Amino acid sequence: MPAITQELPAPNRTKPLFDSNDVTVIFVLGGPGAGKGTQCANLVRDYGFKHLSAGDLLRAEQDREGSQFGDMIKEYIRDGKIVPMEVTVQLLENAMQDAIDNEGNKRFLIDGFPRKMDQALKFEEAVCLSKFTLFFDCPEDVMQERLLNRGKTSGRSDDNAESIKKRFKTFVETSMPVVKHYEKEGKVVIVDATPTPENVYEDVKKKFAEKGIEEKA
């Protein structure tokens, strides 16, 4: 495998690139199939956030002609493993800079990230401190059913029974510790993701209001 640091060095800074008083970052976590993307779309519509999905950015990089990481990303995604964080952190930083420069949007929902402690620490050290983490809590049997359904049309290489099993394992072993870490800091907003998308969104809106985050005029 080529050295990741050749083309996408992990940002090496002692201070975050963006000031969290100026740039808002909300992490959106939850198991695969918990409904993160669906709820983020609602929040973009009503609150004007910029939605950045780490998984979508990785899939785009995987398909980008000339990417030296394409094959590596493909393998990690199929196996439900977490891609080395240098790649993901840099893709997010680039996408944030782009949204700030070209859309003037400084409010971000960062979906499916951080999925591993090293991502969380590196991002907050080098890119931006998060405001809080929105966590969609959902039982595995519900997520499994949603993913298998989605797999009929998503065309995703990892929406199949075998990959789903691996993704659940990664979620429990690698991503839940991130949620626990932010819980200890009192920075997690938990939403029950079992009900219908409409009911889940009602709860999200209520909790955002409690956090002082207002809808677009």
Q: Which does 76 bind (CB under 5 to 8 A by kind): ligand C5P, Mg ion, none?
A: ligand C5P
Is the omega angle on the peptide bond into residue 84 within 30 degrees of 0, that is, cis?
Answer: no
Helix (H) or strand (E) holding 192: strand 188-192
Q: How far is the C-alpha of 8 from the C-alpha of 6, rounded, in Å?
A: 6
Name which of 128 and 216 has its Cβ closer to ligand C5P: 128
Binding mask 172-211 for ligand C5P (x = CB under 6 A): ----------------------------------------
Decide: is 35 part of the binding site for ligand C5P (CB under 6 A): no
Decide: is 146 part of the binding site for ligand C5P (CB under 6 A): no
Single residue of 31, 35, 55, 151 touching ligand C5P by CB under 6 A: 55
Decide: is 88 part of the binding site for ligand C5P (CB under 6 A): yes
Q: How far is the C-alpha of 164 from the C-alpha of 118, rounded, in Å?
A: 23
Name which of 10 and 54 has its Cβ closer to ligand C5P: 54
Decide: is 58 part of the binding site for ligand C5P (CB under 6 A): yes
Shortest Cβ distance from residue 167 to ligand C5P (Å)?
5
Q: Which stretch in 14-22, 52-60, 94-102, 205-213 sits in contact with ligand C5P by CB under 6 A?
A: 52-60
Residue 36: alpha-carbon gap to chain centroid: 8
Decide: is 81 part of the binding site for ligand C5P (CB under 6 A): yes
Decide: is 37 part of the binding site for Mg ion (CB under 5 A): yes
Annotated binding residue at 11? no
Name which of 34 and 189 has its Cβ closer to Mg ion: 34
Q: How far is CA 157 from CA 54, 138, 147, 175, 176, in A?
A: 16, 22, 12, 21, 23
Question: 25 in helix, strand or coil?
Answer: strand
Helices then strands, each counted (H, E), the chain? 9, 5
Asked if residues 109 and 24 have their Cβ atoms less than 8 Å apart, the reply is no
Residue 6: alpha-carbon gap to chain centroid: 25
Decide: is 76 part of the binding site for ligand C5P (CB under 6 A): yes
Q: How far is the C-alpha of 100 from the C-alpha of 123, rounded, in Å?
A: 17
Q: Which stretch in 76-84, 120-128, 189-197, 206-214 sits in contact with ligand C5P by CB under 6 A?
A: 76-84
Single residue of 54, 126, 164, 193 touching ligand C5P by CB under 6 A: 54
Asked if residues 18 and 130 have their Cβ atoms less than 8 Å apart, the reply is no
Query: Interface with Mg ion by CB under 5 A: which residues?
Result: 37
